[in-house]
Amino acid sequence: SLPNDFLRALPKVELHMHIEGSLEPELMFRLAQRNHIELPYDSVEALRQAYDFSNLQSFLDLYYQGANVLQTEQDFFDLTWAYLQRCRQQNVAHVEIFFDPQTHTDRGIPLETVIHGLTRALEQGERQLGISHGLILCFLRHLSEEAALDTLEQAKPFRDKIIGIGLDSSELGHPPEKFERAFAAAREQGYKLVAHAGEEGPTEYIWQALERLKVQRIDHGVACLEDPALVTYLAEHQIPLTVCPNSNVRLRVFDTMADHNLKTLLDKDLKVTLNSDDPAYFGGYMLENYENVQEALNLSRAQWLQLSANAIDASFASDTRKAQLY
Ligand code: ADE
Ligand code: ZN
C-alpha cells in the first residue's frame, strides 16, 4: 500500500470539471438568498438528499436547476473562487474548467457577466495561489447546432480568455456529428477541441468526436473497451481520456467503484487522467476521487505517477508550464 499522505501530496492537474458542478449546496442557498430566488428545497440537507441519481439526465435536471441562482458577476466569481480554494487544499496546480454559457444566456444573463466573473477568479487564483488555468466553453448538445454557432459568435470578443471548446449535456440521442459545422468553425478560430463521448453513449460517438469533430481529448470515453479497434486507435495516438470515477459511479455508469474499468484502461496503455466532473454533486473533488479509486482498486505507486504525468501531458498548458508541473 501507499505511504500516508501520498495521494494528498501528489501534484494534481484537473482537466474535466464543470464549474457549475462545483456549486455546493451551502453556496447555492447563500446565492439564492442574496438574489431573492426561491429554492424548491427547505434546507441544505434536503437538497443533498436529492442528489441520488439514476443516470446522467436525472443529474442534469438538478444541475441546471441549481445554476439558476447564478446571476451576477460576483456570483460567478464566488463560485470559481470556492473551487480554487479546494484546489489549493488538494495540491491541484493547474485546472482546465468547463462552463456552459447557454445555461446562463438562455435565462438572460449576459455572456460577459459569466466570463468576467470566472476569469477574475481564475486570474486571482493564478496570482495569489499559483494555480494556472484554461477555460473551456461547452456547447449544450441537447440544443441545436445553430444555437452552438450563435454561442461561438457571441464568444468572439472573449476569444483570448477561452482556450478551448467542448461538448456536454445529454449524450444519448445527441451524437457528436450533430455539431460538425460548429466544431469546424471553432477549429478555424484556433480553439483547442474536446467533447464528452462514451460516458453513457456508444463507441460510435467516440469515433465521431475524433473523426468528425477532430477533438484532441475525449471526456469520459470509458465505453471505448467495447470496440478493440477503437482501443488500438486511442492507444496508438495517445488520445487523452478525462475519466471521472466518482461521477461514473454516481451516475450508474458502473455499479460500484470496484467495477470501474480504470485498471483495464491503464493496462491497455491508454492516456487516462482522473478528474472530478461535478464535485459538489458527486461526493468530492480531486482528492476524494483519488481516495475512492485507491480504496476500491488499489493502484500501484507507478500507476499514480503515470496518471499524474498523463494529466500534465494531456493539458493545454504551455511547454514552460508543463515543465514546472512535472
Ligand atoms: N454536464 C455536467 N456534467 C456532465 C457530465 N458528466 N456529462 C455530460 N454533461 C455534463
Ligand atoms: Zn463532464
14 has catalytic annotation: no
- Between 1-5, 103-107, 118-122, 157-161, the lowest mean confidence (pLDDT) is in 1-5
Supply the ipTM of this predicted assembly.
0.98
pLDDT of residue 4: 84
What residue ranges do the domains of the chain occupy? Answer: 6-325
What H or E segment, with its residue span, contains residue 34? helix 25-34
Report the first-to-last Cα separation within the chain, whole angstroms: 23
* CATH class belonging to 6-325: alpha beta
What H or E segment, with its residue span, contains residue 220? strand 217-220
pLDDT digits (tens, 9 = 90+) for 119-156: 999 999 999 999 999 999 999 999 999 999 999 999 99
Ligand 1 shell residues, CB under 6 Å = 18, 21, 56, 63, 168-169, 196, 199, 247, 277-278
Nearest atom in ligand 1 to the alpha carbon of residue 244 is: 6
Residues tagged in the binding site annotation for Zn(2+): 16, 18, 196, 277
pLDDT digits (tens, 9 = 90+) for 218-234: 999 999 999 999 999 99
Q: 145 is written with which cell numbers?
A: 447546432
Q: For the whole model, what pTM was predicted?
A: 0.98
Q: Name 13's bridge partners.
A: 94
Cα–ligand 1 centroid distance for 177 (angstroms): 18
Q: What one-character DSSP code corresponds to residue 177?
A: G
The residues near 300 (Cβ < 8 Å, ≥ 6 apart) are none
Q: Which residue of the set 199, 211, 288, 295 is catalytic?
A: 199
